[in-house]
Structure 1
Amino acid sequence: MRAKTDTPTSLDIGLLLYPGVQRAAVHGLADLFLVANRVAVELGAVELPRVRTSFWQANEAGHLQPAADSPASEVSALRVLIIPPSLESTPQGELLARHRTLLCQLHGRGTVLASVCIGVFFIAASGLLDGRPACTHWNYVHTLAQRFPRVRVGAQQPLLDDGDIVTSAGLMAWTDLGLRLLERFLGATVARETARYLAVEPVTAPLPGALFNPRLDHGDEAVLKVQHWLQGNGGQDADLAAMASCAGLEARTFLRRFRAATGLRPTEYCQQVRVGRACRLLEFTRRNVEQIAWGVGYQDPGAFRKVFQRITGLTPSDYRRRFAVSGPYRDSLAETP
């Protein structure tokens, strides 16, 4: 399947409804995206897609269907599916099992999965977070780690954007998540002005390279499979032969299709993934630069420093001095180097 070349006129964001979902977060996110559309018009950004919000729920058979009174939308059009928080206890196994297949199917089509607070349990139960970092409300960090030990749980980390999966921590973190999605898909200006209109704190703009937003809506399923694989392993041990094998393509064909779909060569893509992971380790752990370089797949720390500075504009040490957090956030990424 070839990459899409048309520019979408709408950005379809779905909100998942389930028993016990926090309605304030559902309606708050819908209002936030409505404000963003108005802000974009006032800014004269007519070329930007308009956010189209829809509401979805799983039936007894585990199929995703529009909720009552939801605006008309197609599942295949969803760029993002948000799993909101709940004021109740962590979801039970039966509820999680009902959503497992549909979340895997959406993710496999290129839909970004995003969660707030205990919404992350739905994604974790699907297996899509195995071996990957995620965050949740501080009260549920240990429960998440115990129920899903293959997830690398970031204790108290407020928001973690890992490309195709975004997780956020607190009950009110839906504002941060909504603004991050606006920044990602509509740009920093729309996100900032939306935050100003709503009188909430804007999301701190990351340095170039610190937040990698890969294109996932290109329609090339073979390339998308490789992208998910690279996000899952942090871009490590990903030589051309391995990536082409994952895609089921001859190496030359894979190179051509990968660049056409993502706009990057495979080596450039892997560098972006690795530097993004390194930024989080510099912010949230005390590991030295050499340990971080090895942890993200560089055997030569000098080569890592050069790639890091080229992508972010800062050396790893300078990045840490500017962005490292203190207190309970430090050493919160349960990742092994």
Structure 2
Amino acid sequence: MQTTQAVEIGLVLYPGAQQAAVLGLTDLFAVANREALSHLPHAEPPLRVTHWQQSSPDTLPRRVFDSAPDSTAPAILSALILPPTLDDPVGVAKTGTLSAWLRARHTEGVTLTSVCAGAFPLAATGLLAGRKMTTHWAYATLLQERHPDVIVDIDQLIIDDGDIITAGGLMAWTDLGLRLVDRLLGPTVMIETARTLLVDPPGREQRYYSLFSPRLTHADAAVLKLQHWLQATQAKEMALPILAAQAGLQERTLLRRFQKATGMTTTEYCQRLRVGRAQELLQFDTASVERVAWDVGYSDTGAFRKVFTRIVGLSPSDYRRRFSSSPRAGVS
């Protein structure tokens, strides 16, 4: 078996964080590791789970638990999870030190995630301005009042925006955990993990296989800056001069570094972001395909259909018929 770089998932134990979710997620990833070892040629578990905690509100979080403390394999921090809390959600989001630390990790390419009221310390980072996030329905109004620049959408259990993932209900940590397992270890390991835990995966599987998960841990700061901008603006702008200006690079330099960092061209990357947004609209909205095309940046519906079918493997109408959550959704 080969020794490969482990992927680290950090759980942030902010004051009041629900221990049941912290321990449950730790166990879920342990099960995923066991399943992965039976399918993949790893000498050591591919996932490394750590817990991060502040000793006081003014100190930086530090590791207080490591699932593989004696491992010599290198690990790269890929995701941080802000679990639920049963305490006042506004109170737990007051520490500016935690917000700054989360922003710094995000800048390094770490995916930030939250469950239920964990949305409050995540929103406090300012990274969700103009973007959608979900939380428990009981907290929706309060979250919107505290962060009016955030688009709060409680109709979705999980909102996966690539670099930021939010989950709604108190027990939605299982859904978030499986989403990360699918992203990091693949759908086979995710399904086996769900079966072992007796968590029904069919409702989750619909969107897993075709979701675009951008590569964010490449350490190219200029490209990462552009990726975050594209994510926040839903890739409405694809013109190379504008992309290069956002990255602060010459156009030819951007094309070379973007391909190296993400594994795809800027055009393909933007297309996949747009198609991912279109999939969401086709599933949860009743707008016509023409309207969806326009909303994600395509004035030519024919071009949109062609790109969508190439990436997803289904036409927009077929995709809606198969996966729409609304029985009244149009199929034009």
Fold agreement, TM-score > 0.5: yes
Runs (5+) with no aligned partner, structure 2? none
After TM superposition, give the deviation of residue 252 of structure 1 in Å: 0.3
After TM superposition, give the deviation of residue 26 of structure 1 in Å: 0.1
Residue 112 (structure 2) aligns with: 113
Residue 167 (structure 2) aligns with: 168
Q: Which amino acid aligns with 1:246?
A: Q
User: Structure 1 pair 172/38, CA: closer, same or farther in 2 (3 Å)?
Assistant: same
Residue 60 (structure 2) aligns with: 63
Please tell me whether residue 24 in structure 1 is matched to residue 15 in structure 2.
Answer: no
Residue 4 (structure 1) aligns with: none
TM-score computed with the length of structure 2 as normaliser? 0.90
After TM superposition, give the deviation of residue 47 of structure 1 in Å: 7.6
Please tell me whether residue 269 in structure 1 is matched to residue 266 in structure 2.
Answer: no
Residue 257 (structure 2) aligns with: 257
Q: Deviations over 1:25-59 (max 9, x none)?
A: 00000001111111122235428961111110234
Cα distance between partner residues in 1 of 2:4 and 2:117? 31
Residue 83 (structure 2) aligns with: 84
Residue 154 (structure 1) aligns with: 153
Please give the secondary structure, in 1, of the residue aligned with 2:86.
Answer: coil
Please give the secondary structure, in 2, of the residue aligned with 1:78.
Answer: strand
After TM superposition, give the deviation of residue 210 of structure 1 in Å: 3.9
Q: Which amino acid aligns with 2:32?
A: A
Q: Which amino acid aligns with 1:22?
A: Q
Cα distance between partner residues in 1 of 2:173 and 2:93? 25
After TM superposition, give the deviation of residue 69 of structure 1 in Å: 7.7
Cα distance between partner residues in 2 of 1:286 and 1:44? 41
Is the CA contact (8 Å cut-off) linking 2:14 and 2:92 kept in structure 1?
no
Please tell me whether residue 311 in structure 1 is matched to residue 311 in structure 2.
Answer: yes
Cα distance between partner residues in 2 of 1:224 and 1:273? 15
Residue 179 (structure 1) aligns with: 178
Cα distance between partner residues in 1 of 2:65 and 2:40? 34
Q: Which amino acid aligns with 1:244?
A: A
TM-score computed with the length of structure 1 as normaliser? 0.89
Q: Which amino acid aligns with 2:119?
A: V
Please give the secondary structure, in 2, of the residue aligned with 1:77.
Answer: strand
After TM superposition, give the deviation of residue 172 of structure 1 in Å: 0.7
Residue 29 (structure 2) aligns with: 33
User: Structure 1 pair 78/69, CA: closer, same or farther in 2 (3 Å)?
Assistant: closer
Q: Deviations over 1:113-170 (max 9, x none)?
A: 0111111111211111111111111111222222212212222311111111111111
When the two structures are aligned, how many residues end up with a matched partner?
A: 321
After TM superposition, give the deviation of residue 8 of structure 1 in Å: 4.9
After TM superposition, give the deviation of residue 17 of structure 1 in Å: 0.4
Aligned-pair identity in percent equals 51
Give the alignment's Cα RMSD to 1 decimal: 2.4
Is the CA contact (8 Å cut-off) linking 1:211 and 1:276 kept in structure 2?
yes
Is the CA contact (8 Å cut-off) linking 1:240 and 1:251 kept in structure 2?
yes
Q: Which amino acid aligns with 2:79?
A: V
User: Structure 1 pair 259/94, CA: closer, same or farther in 2 (3 Å)?
Assistant: closer
Q: Deviations over 1:192-232 (max 9, x none)?
A: 11111111112632468841101111111111111111001
Cα distance between partner residues in 2 of 1:208 and 1:35? 19
Q: Deviations over 1:1-36 (max 9, x none)?
A: xxxxxx952110000001211100000000011111
User: Structure 1 pair 315/47, CA: closer, same or farther in 2 (3 Å)?
Assistant: farther
Please give the secondary structure, in 1, of the residue aligned with 2:94.
Answer: helix
Higher relative contact order structure (alpha carbons within 8 Å, sequence separation ≥ 6) = 1
Residue 234 (structure 1) aligns with: 234
User: 87-96 or 270-279: which moved more?
Assistant: 87-96
Cα distance between partner residues in 2 of 1:47 and 1:280? 38
Question: Structure 2 residue aligned with 1:12, among 8, 12, 24?
Answer: 8
